[in-house]
Amino acid sequence: MSKPHEVIIGLEIHVQLATRSKLFCGCSTQFGAEPNTQTCPVCIGMPGTLPVMNRRAYELAVRTAAALDCEIAEFTKWDRKNYYYPDLPKAYQISQYDLPFSENGGLLVHDPKQQIEPRFIRLIRVHLEEDAGKSMHDEAAGRDDSRIDLNRAGTPLMEVVTQPDIRTPLEARLFLTELKLVLTYLGVSDCNMQEGSLRVDANINLHVDEGGETVATPIVEVKNLNSFRAVERALEYEAVRQLDVYEETGQRIGDVPKQTRGWDDAAGVSRAMRHKEESSDYRYFPDPDLVPVRITAEQIAAARAAVGERPAELRARLEREFGLGGYDSDVIVNGGRELVDYFLELAERAGDGKLASNWLQQDVMRALNDRAITIGEYPVSAAALAELLAKVKGGELDRNRGRDVLADMEAHGRGVEAAMASLGIESVDDDALVALCRELIAANPAIVADVQAGKAKAAGALIGQARQKNPNVNPGEVRRICLELIEAM
Amino acid sequence: MFIPHESATDLVALIHSGDLTAVEVTTALLERIERHDASLQAMLRVDNQAALAQAEAIDARRRRGEPLGSLAGVPVAVKDNMCTRGEATTCASRMLEPFVPPYDATVIGRLREAGAVVIGKTNLDEFAMGSTTENSAFGVTRNPWDPERVPGGSSGGSAASVAAGFAPLALGSDTGGSIRAPAALCGVTGMKPTYGRVSRYGLVAFASSLDQIGPFGRSAADVAVLLETIAGHDPADTTSVDVPVPRYSESVSRPLENLRIGWVKEHFGAGIGDDVAAAVREAIRTYESLGASVREVSLPHAKYSIAVYYVIAPCEASSNLARFDGVHYGMRTDEAVMRAELDDERARLEKAGDERGLADMDTAMVRLYRKTRAEGFGPEVKRRIMLGTYALSSGYYDAYYKRALQVRRLIREDYDRAFAEVDMIVGPVTPTTAFRLGERVDDPLSMYLFDLYTCGANLAGLPGISLPCGFDGQGLPIGLQLQAAPFEEEKLLRAAHMYQTATDWHTRRPELA
Ligand SMILES: [Zn+2]
């Protein structure tokens, strides 16, 4: 029986900002170019060159800080973080040390499956820095011959550091999911983990309850986390491993130096990483080549006003104004701002949020998925779909027939009327409908008897027959007329 | 007419009028360099063909009737820590011996636009660290007034080249006195502009918050023309300040009225040579005779300026020079030798069963850094990198760097108070005149004290000008320093010109062997 304990997790997230050019020079930040083709004397640190701040990167960072409810400093400066590494051409990284552009703030984490209660995860800071290049080490050969690609060197990077407020690996994953969604909504990053535009390191230790005394175990930093799922798995593994180590050695925080472990997702284990060559004394000092950055209170207020509705606020609105459940609002909001806008227009025009949500999730999103397109590329406008929904709601079309019409609209980019016409759907006039119903009643005395005996459900068979004779009949109308006629017999 | 002694302003006029061609001027100066630089070693590299090609281009423009720039055809010598596209820029260091920048420094671009001829790159103390130009990896520059003496530093090559008549103008850089001190020791006029007046883009950084490029000439009028050419905001250097640049070349000859000058008691304390003190006092009297009022001002924190300077400059240098690691450009140690060395070490440790030693062994990457830097840097550069690295280390930062910044602010405030009372401060540039080669090489502290009167202007970001004000008993030039409030270069140039109108010290020329 293991000792009662709490898991303490803090995250450090590096996000590449979606600027066209680098943080301190004009080079492109496009991913995937030939190595060392997106470089210039400034970003390869040639002697005599000087950095010039990309104001756009700073603005995107401020927008993010505003969305994360951070305090934004009116005065911020750049510092040099000095260390040697082949992918760092100046042998220092321009970063922010004691006066980051923003501090505090936080993000509410919720779980659509409601495995956990919503929790507010506080942030320590968000700061800006330049990315390093990429070393392509031949470590297996043990000779560390390296080739270096400096295309990435100088790309604007925003570092988000949380307080150690996260208590479970699941919470860590949910936090990251929500953070990524916020960043995507803001348009500040593409958050592509495969291309390295979002990178996560996690710090984890345990608070073990020793008969009322809380004992903290040594903090471990986990790196090489290549997906949110990997973060969750690595932390689950690490929590168990640390408890084992604690029960075996009794090591407390401070007894051993902070350890860095790399996560091997395929093997499902973490491994101690080789010590870095450089010492951890980064000799930070203000970068004398860059003037401090100032922003006015008015500009900060404008940035806050420009944030707009954040995902959590949108979910709440969908639930409040359109009566959606938590699961549905989550699916729609997680689909991105464009999908939400589509939904809002659809629901407004159709006057029915739940109907709009059903069609959006079951039909539209499926089509997007099947065709691998975005809502912006979807050929049926919200207005057109709303017309279709009105016909379904009015009983003119049943759900299946409505789907046929939508498929035709998707395939040919037609409006509802045109699609119905092409499918040969036309409204059947009342006299013809009554005549059809009389005919069916005459031909089905057994069903009529069942209905008369109180089994109203039996009328469904009449509807089926009516549809076989004329696919365009309104099933609701058929049912109503048949029941009226039988009643009158 | 003797071209090597002509002023830049006269040469421009003669070239504009067609009385002289740029090629004639450049040829005359190249010949003079050829004849005298073997003994002086002011120039690190002179490319005759490249210089003549620039001169020919100017002459061609003139023949075609195209407009000529403000320095058309005037040769300018450039300290070899400013990048010149496609030409070596070494900082007088082995480390950068193979370095050829693919870009021009902003000041070089402005020289070219003005039609100047970059006649060659001048010697300096390695990475501009030194006060004598003896720290060059490529030879010692000698003082044209006495080849057994230092020319001052770190822009010793630029100062000596102007004094020797190799070029009427030169560019230097001044981090703690590196323009003003060699100007004083070589008997020429040199100015350190306000921090931010001239773009640093393309100047290989020594201490970024102190470095400033500035002009040398044989008169304030010539210095004015060169400053006007290179000054002004540069979007590539965000520390350059966007304030208008006055037409120094036009205003320089207008005397200042009601000039209020201040002198500082500490400038005449222990350590100053009698000849220097006497010449500076005499210069102050000259200003009085020109109508200036004189009063004493106080710079109570000036005595800390050397201490502050020798914390801040090495701290910044330790970071600025970290990029020279053998990986990306410049020198790299012989890798085959390095690997063989590592293999030997490993074999020895394995044989001895020294597990600890094996674990502590350098990786190839770390050894590459170590050996490259050990071989590439000279002793003074290493000394300052170590000083700076130490002072920035955790646990020492507050006691050294942070404290130095605080005192730096006090020094600046002293000047602010002084300049509320006077237009400029007049004093010595260096405590003594040029001393003998080798005399202080093994005494870094006395060498550092040579910056006592100059580094305050760098710490406070002020402009300062050095101009000849006499000779000592051995016939060596003495310099006079004028300092003013930020962006008051115009005032300094006009005051210097007033003095040079009243005296002829600046017209004396050394006899070259
Ligand atoms: Zn670049």
Q: Which residues, numbered 263 to 302 in chain B, qualify as contacts with chain A under a Cβ-Cβ cut-off of 8 Å?
A: none
Which amino acid would we find at residue A488? A
The long-range contacts involving B291-295, CB below 8 angstroms and separated by at least 24 positions, are: B291/B257, B291/B258, B291/B259, B292/B259, B292/B260, B292/B261, B293/B258, B293/B259, B293/B260, B293/B261, B294/B261, B294/B262, B294/B263, B295/B260, B295/B261, B295/B262, B295/B263, B295/B421, B295/B422
| Contact with chain A for residue B342, Cβ under 8 A | no
Whole-angstrom distance, CA of residue B158 vs CA of residue B144: 12
DSSP labels, B381-407: HHHHHHHHHHHHSTTTTIIIIIHHHHH
Answer for the pair B49, B87: CB distance below 8 angstroms, yes or no: no
Q: Which CATH architecture has domain A430-487?
A: Orthogonal Bundle (1.10)
Is the Cβ pair A144, B364 closer than 8 Å? yes
Q: What is the A43 CA–ligand 1 centroid distance (Å)? A: 4
Residue A239, sorted as left (phi over 0), alpha (psi -120 to 50) or beta, turns out to be alpha
Is the Cβ pair B201, A47 closer than 8 Å? no
CATH T-level assignment (fold) for domain B3-301+418-507: Amidase signature (AS) enzymes (3.90.1300)
Answer for the pair A176, A233: CB distance below 8 angstroms, yes or no: no
Q: Which residues, numbered 201 to 240 in chain B, qualify as contacts with chain A under a Cβ-Cβ cut-off of 8 Å?
A: 201-205, 207-209, 235-239
Return the domain boundaries, chain B: 3-301+418-507, 325-376
**Among candidate residues B248, B217, B98, B71, the one with its CA nearest the CA of residue B155:** B217
Q: What is the A42 CA–ligand 1 centroid distance (Å)? A: 5
Instruction: Specify which residues B149 forms β-bridges with.
Output: B436
Is the Cβ pair A48, B89 closer than 8 Å? yes
CA distance B419 to chain A (A): 25
| Contact with chain A for residue B315, Cβ under 8 A | yes
Extract the residue ranges of chain A whose pLDDT is less than 70: 1, 137-146, 274-279, 427
Q: What is the A23 CA–ligand 1 centroid distance (Å)? A: 9
Answer for the pair B423, B137: CB distance below 8 angstroms, yes or no: no
Whole-angstrom distance, CA of residue B368 vs CA of residue B382: 17
At A293, is the secondary structure helix, strand, or coil?
strand
Q: What is the A29 CA–ligand 1 centroid distance (Å)? A: 9
Whole-angstrom distance, CA of residue B251 vs CA of residue B221: 9
Is the Cβ pair B394, A283 closer than 8 Å? yes
Query: If you measure CA to CA, which chain B residue comes closest to A146?
Result: B365
Tokens standing for residue B164: 């020797």
At B438, is the secondary structure helix, strand, or coil?
coil
Cα angle, residue B439 at apex, residues B434 and B445 outer, rounded to 5°: 95
Residues in A closer than 8 angstroms to B376, CB to CB, are: none
Whole-angstrom distance, CA of residue B462 vs CA of residue B453: 13
Q: Are strands B477-484 and B117-122 parallel, antiparallel or unpaired?
A: unpaired
Which amino acid would we find at residue B342? L
Tokens standing for residue A111: 């779980």
**Among candidate residues B161, B158, B154, the one with its CA nearest the CA of residue B450:** B154
**Among candidate residues A406, A363, A407, the one with its CA nearest the CA of residue A385:** A406
Which amino acid would we find at residue B128? A
Query: If you measure CA to CA, which chain A residue comes closest to B102?
Result: A41
* Backbone phi and psi for residue B424, each to the nearest 5 degrees, phi listed first: -155, 160
Q: What is the pLDDT, as a whole number, of residue A361?
A: 94
| For residue B208, cis peptide bond before it (omega within 30 degrees of 0) | no
Tokens standing for residue A271: 């491994």
Neighbours of A272 (CB within 10 A): 10
At A400, is the secondary structure helix, strand, or coil?
helix
Instruction: Specify which residues A214 forms β-bridges with.
Output: A209
Using CA atoms, how far residue A11 sits from A16, A63, A282, in Å, is 16, 21, 21
**Among candidate residues A165, A280, A276, the one with its CA nearest the CA of residue A223:** A276
| Contact with chain A for residue B102, Cβ under 8 A | yes
Among B93, B201, B206, pick the best mutation site for testing chain A contact (most A Cβ within 10 A): B201
Q: What is the B115 CA–ligand 1 centroid distance (Å)? A: 30
Whole-angstrom distance, CA of residue A364 vs CA of residue A359: 6
Query: If you measure CA to CA, which chain A residue comes closest to B343?
Result: A143
Report CA A387 to chain centroid distance, whole Å.
Answer: 31
Q: What is the A100 CA–ligand 1 centroid distance (Å)? A: 24
Answer for the pair B225, B248: CB distance below 8 angstroms, yes or no: yes
Residue B156 CB-density burial (10 A; 0-12 exposed, 13-18 middle, 19+ buried): buried
Q: Tell me the ipTM for this assembly.
A: 0.95
Is the Cβ pair A289, B99 closer than 8 Å? no
Is the Cβ pair B325, A84 closer than 8 Å? yes
Whole-angstrom distance, CA of residue A198 vs CA of residue A17: 9
B414: part of which helix (H) or strand (E)? helix B403-421
| Contact with chain B for residue A108, Cβ under 8 A | no
| Contact with chain B for residue A47, Cβ under 8 A | yes
**Among candidate residues B428, B476, B480, the one with its CA nearest the CA of residue B451:** B428
Query: If you measure CA to CA, which chain A residue comes closest to B127?
Result: A47
Among B328, B394, B397, pick the best mutation site for testing chain A contact (most A Cβ within 10 A): B328
What is the residue-level pLDDT of chain B in tens, covering all 513 positions? 999 999 999 999 999 999 999 999 999 999 999 999 999 999 999 999 999 999 999 999 999 999 999 999 999 999 999 999 999 999 999 999 999 999 999 999 999 999 999 999 999 999 999 999 999 999 999 999 999 999 999 999 999 999 999 999 999 999 999 999 999 999 999 999 999 999 999 999 999 999 999 999 999 999 999 999 999 999 999 999 999 999 999 999 999 999 999 999 989 988 899 999 999 999 999 999 999 999 999 999 999 999 999 999 999 999 999 999 988 888 999 999 999 999 999 999 999 999 999 988 999 989 999 999 999 999 999 999 999 999 999 889 999 999 999 999 999 999 999 999 999 999 999 999 999 999 988 888 888 889 999 999 999 999 999 999 999 999 999 999 999 999 999 999 999 999 999 999 999 999 997
Q: What is the pLDDT, as a whole number, of residue B3?
A: 97
Tell me how long chain A is: 489
Residues in A closer than 8 angstroms to B365, CB to CB, are: 86, 144, 146, 277
Answer for the pair A209, A5: CB distance below 8 angstroms, yes or no: yes
**What is residue A55's DSSP assignment?**
H
Q: Are strands B43-45 and A79-82 parallel, antiparallel or unpaired?
A: unpaired
Answer for the pair A187, A306: CB distance below 8 angstroms, yes or no: no
CA distance A44 to chain B (A): 8
Return the domain boundaries, chain A: 5-298, 309-422, 430-487
Q: Which residues contact B314 (CB under 8 A, 6 or more apart)?
A: B207, B384, B385, B387, B388, B391
Tokens standing for residue B195: 């921090």
Which amino acid would we find at residue A40? C
Q: What is the pLDDT, as a whole number, of residue A297?
A: 97
Whole-angstrom distance, CA of residue B249 vs CA of residue B221: 7
Which residues of B are annotated as catalytic? 79, 154, 178
Answer for the pair B426, B290: CB distance below 8 angstroms, yes or no: no
**How many Cα atoms within 13 Å fall on the side-chain side of residue A247?**
11
| Contact with chain A for residue B397, Cβ under 8 A | yes
Whole-angstrom distance, CA of residue A323 vs CA of residue A332: 13
> Global pTM?
0.91
Whole-angstrom distance, CA of residue A252 vs CA of residue A207: 10
* Backbone phi and psi for residue A216, each to the nearest 5 degrees, phi listed first: -90, 135
Q: What is the pLDDT, as a whole number, of residue A140?
A: 45
Using CA atoms, how far residue A189 sits from A18, A192, A195, A243, A314, in Å, is 5, 8, 12, 37, 20
Tokens standing for residue B157: 């090559």
Is the Cβ pair A285, B323 closer than 8 Å? no
Query: If you measure CA to CA, which chain B residue comes closest to A143?
Result: B364
Answer for the pair A24, A43: CB distance below 8 angstroms, yes or no: yes
Is the Cβ pair B102, A41 closer than 8 Å? yes
Quick: pLDDT tens for A163-210. 999 999 999 999 999 999 999 999 999 999 988 999 999 999 999 999
Instruction: Specify which residues A316 forms β-bridges with.
Output: none
Whole-angstrom distance, CA of residue A143 vs CA of residue B363: 8
